[in-house]
Amino acid sequence: MKELKILAVVVFFSLAVYILVEPIAHGVMHKTIDKQGFAYKDLPDVNKKGDATRGKDLVMGAGACTGCHSIEVAGIAPTMDALTASSSYGVVPPDLSIAGAIYDERFLHALIKNPAKALDVEHKFTPDSGKMHPMSSFGGAGGDIDQEIADMVAYLKSIAPDSASVTPTQAFENACGRCHEVRYTNWTQMGEKPKFKKERDSLIYDANVLDYQDNLKKYMGKLPPDLSMKYGARGEQFMSTFVENPQGLLHGTSMPRVGLNAESAEKTLQYLHDSYEPQAMREERDRTGLWVMGFLLILASVAYLWKREVWKDLH
């Protein structure tokens, strides 16, 4: 039929435009890197079985972890408040209660040995720069250093919850929350902003966040962006590969590779997906869409029958 041929021509040219300006042009403009499954193959594999009890002594003692980090589940409070910590280290050293569940084991090992290397920010801490990574490297406690580190990692894993029970919010707060705010979920770098009764208290909180951000800016060279909309702005592929390998996509960036395992990375991204378009909204969209489609299909059928009826008299 002639009308269908015309329709085919219209559809052909419209699709050509679409394919050229959307998938093809975006493919050329935005370079992508392959997902590596959060395996961190560049870091050495350590085949040592750790002993959690010895690890506990090291974490609290020679390893000095608790000099900077809190471990709430073990009853160890932060040594200083968040603002003071940020002025000393640039950021609040994250609480280690769930570190064993969310970070990759190989990565944790490498981190304790040489943070700048594991975090992939060595370019910022070259000998010439005169700067040192705020987390000190563990130099060993007199024995086999790899065994000692394995013990500490074993300890962190022993106190951490089962990785399946970590929530997206916990994963995000621990891995990204010290650097990034997420306005749409009310998250600031100093934690979720509480509801204050007095305006004054609210302003003081905001002022503290501003001070924290100043310290963070000094440490990172720039203020890490708000992540509320980033999932939508960058897309899943970018977000996932960026968390796994920031240098691969933004060469020279000061954002560290945080070393999440695959499961926790997915949860972190889920948190950011929800801040961009909450799950409930996505469901509502599908539901509403089906109703509207149903209505339109009925409309189209009725319209078709009506047209046939009217046109009977014309031809």
Smallest distance from other proteins to CB 299, Å: 5
Q: Is 22 in the site for other proteins (CB under 8 A)?
A: yes
Smallest distance from ligand HEC to CB 2, Å: 50
Provide the 10 A C-beta neighbour count for residue 308: 9
Nearest residue to 175 (alpha-carbon basis) of 285, 31, 271, 43: 271
Q: Is 43 in the site for ligand HEC (CB under 6 A)?
A: no
Q: Which residues of 246-274 are buried (b: 16+ CB within 10 A; e: fewer)?
A: bbbbeeebebbbbbbbeebbebbbbbbbb
Q: Is 255 in the site for ligand HEC (CB under 6 A)?
A: yes
Which of 70, 170, 241, 253 binds ligand HEC (CB under 6 A)? It is 253
Count residues near ligand HEC (CB under 6 A). 45
Q: Which is nearer to other proteins, 31 or 200 (CB)?
A: 31
- Cα 173 from Cα 188, distance rounded (Å): 10
Which of 131, 232, 236, 237 binds other proteins (CB under 8 A)? It is 232
Distance from chain centroid for Cα 226? 12
Count residues near other proteins (CB under 8 A). 52
Nearest residue to 264 (alpha-carbon basis) of 235, 240, 247: 240
Nearest residue to 92 (alpha-carbon basis) of 105, 101, 82: 82
Smallest distance from other proteins to CB 19, Å: 9
The CA radius of gyration of the chain, in Å to the nearest whole number, is 26
Q: Which is nearer to ligand HEC, 50 or 94 (CB)?
A: 94
Provide the 10 A C-beta neighbour count for residue 187: 23
Q: Which does 175 bind (CB under 5 to 8 A by kind): ligand HEC, other proteins, none?
A: ligand HEC
Q: Which does 267 bind (CB under 5 to 8 A by kind): other proteins, ligand HEC, none?
A: none
Distance from chain centroid for Cα 42? 21
- Cα 66 from Cα 76, distance rounded (Å): 7
- Residue type present at position 87: S
Q: Is 303 in the site for other proteins (CB under 8 A)?
A: yes
Which of 98, 159, 220, 228 binds ligand HEC (CB under 6 A)? It is 220
List all residues 6 or more positions away from 105 whose beta carbon is below 8 Å from its beta carbon: 153, 157, 261
| Residues across the chain | 315
Smallest distance from ligand HEC to CB 143, Å: 15
How far are the Cα atoms of 81, 96, 100, 156, 218 from residue 53, in angstroms, in the given order?
29, 16, 15, 10, 38
Q: Is 100 in the site for ligand HEC (CB under 6 A)?
A: no
Provide the 10 A C-beta neighbour count for residue 51: 18
* Beta carbons of 304 and 198 less than 8 angstroms apart: no
Which of 40, 55, 116, 224 binds ligand HEC (CB under 6 A)? It is 224
Binding mask 158-187 for ligand HEC (x = CB under 6 A): -----------------xx-xxx-------
The footprint of other proteins (CB under 8 A) covers: 2-3, 6-7, 10, 13-14, 16-18, 20-22, 24-25, 28-29, 183-184, 225-226, 228-230, 232-235, 276-278, 281, 285-286, 288-289, 292-293, 296-297, 299-300, 303-304, 306-307, 309-311, 313-315
Q: Write out the residues near ligand HEC by the rule CB under 6 A.
A: 59, 63-65, 67-69, 89, 91, 93-94, 96, 99, 103, 111-112, 134-136, 138, 152, 175-176, 178-180, 220, 222, 224-225, 227, 230, 234, 239, 242-243, 250, 253-256, 258-260, 268
